[in-house]
Structure 1
Amino acid sequence: MSAPALLELLYVSVLAPRQRPTVVGQIVAQARARNAERGITGLLVFDGLHFCQHFEGPPDALAPLMDRIRQDARHEDVRVLYEGPRAERRYHRFDLGFAQSDEPDDMAGIHALEGPAALERFLALRPSFDVNG
């Protein structure tokens, strides 16, 4: 069986101690250029402490991206909540959309879930995010 053309992945993490929330702008700026080169699209949501990122792309591009994310000292407690094949893209408009969530319970709620339940919860919240991309 061949590998899927697209893979989607949802992960969560927490802003590392001694990091300022303003570092997120730096993360987004760096990721947008890299993602565009590698055919990765997605959405990063941040509530001031918790990160939640959903992205999609070629499987051979997502593994190195997750390795970089896990090694990035700007956040910690990186956990992949969902990973699976995707027939078509959910994010056509941007290489990395960014939204801030004013509801800490939203991100904490996703952090408490795993698997398809985590993905469903994130997708259900997505229309409420004011996305910049």
Structure 2
Amino acid sequence: MSQSLLYQVLYVSTLSPEQPLSIVADIAHRARASNAERGITALLAFDGQRFCQMLEGERKPVLSLTERIRNDARHTGVEVLYHGPLQARRFGDFQLAFTSGEEETSFEQLEALDGSAALAAFERLRLALPG
């Protein structure tokens, strides 16, 4: 795939109140397999209530997945903070890297941003993650 064809979407959402926390591991497990089929790599972070995810891959599959997430009853308040072309993948061969817990950049702060400010805050979050 030509690097110029890469696209990225950064979004935040909230776990629906009627969903148990145990569903998050299932979401991550299923996303790994699904993302591999679509050529999507991603980082999904979860703070116990909110999701923050960066999707990257070819434009059409990334936008299609974003729309599926918007319509997924397990998520509420899906808000795209940034979308646009991507020079190179950040997550290499990860179909989905997943982390949970307290991160240095809070999701509340990230939700208040958009565009390049949201992208920069996400990058700080990514660098603060363990591993």
Aligned partners of 1:75 and 1:21: how far apart in 2? 12
Aligned partners of 1:6 and 1:90: how far apart in 2? 11
Q: How many residues align?
A: 128
Given that residues 47 and 104 in structure 1 are in contact (C-alpha distance below 8 angstroms), is that contact kept between their aligned partners in structure 2? no
Gaps of 5+ in 1: none
1:30 correspondence with 2:30: yes
Residue type matched to 1:98 in 2?
Answer: F
Given that residues 52 and 107 in structure 2 are in contact (C-alpha distance below 8 angstroms), is that contact kept between their aligned partners in structure 1? yes
Segments of 4+ moved more than 4 angstroms: none
CA 1:103–1:129 in 2, change beyond 3 Å: closer, same or farther?
closer
**TM-score normalised over the length of structure 1:** 0.90
Task: Tell me by how many angstroms 1:105 deviates.
Answer: 6.3
Residue 112 (structure 1) aligns with: 112
1:121 correspondence with 2:115: no
Aligned partners of 1:30 and 1:80: how far apart in 2? 21
Given that residues 41 and 92 in structure 1 are in contact (C-alpha distance below 8 angstroms), is that contact kept between their aligned partners in structure 2? yes
Gaps of 5+ in 2: none
**Aligned to 1:73, what secondary structure does the other structure show?**
coil
Percent identity between matched residues is 46
Task: Tell me by how many angstroms 1:15 deviates.
Answer: 0.8
Aligned partners of 1:97 and 1:103: how far apart in 2? 15
Alignment of 1:69-108 (within 5 A): 69-103=69-103, 106-108=106-108
Given that residues 101 and 129 in structure 1 are in contact (C-alpha distance below 8 angstroms), is that contact kept between their aligned partners in structure 2? no
Task: Tell me by how many angstroms 1:21 deviates.
Answer: 1.7
**Aligned to 1:69, what secondary structure does the other structure show?**
helix
Aligned partners of 1:11 and 1:102: how far apart in 2? 18
**TM-score normalised over the length of structure 2:** 0.91
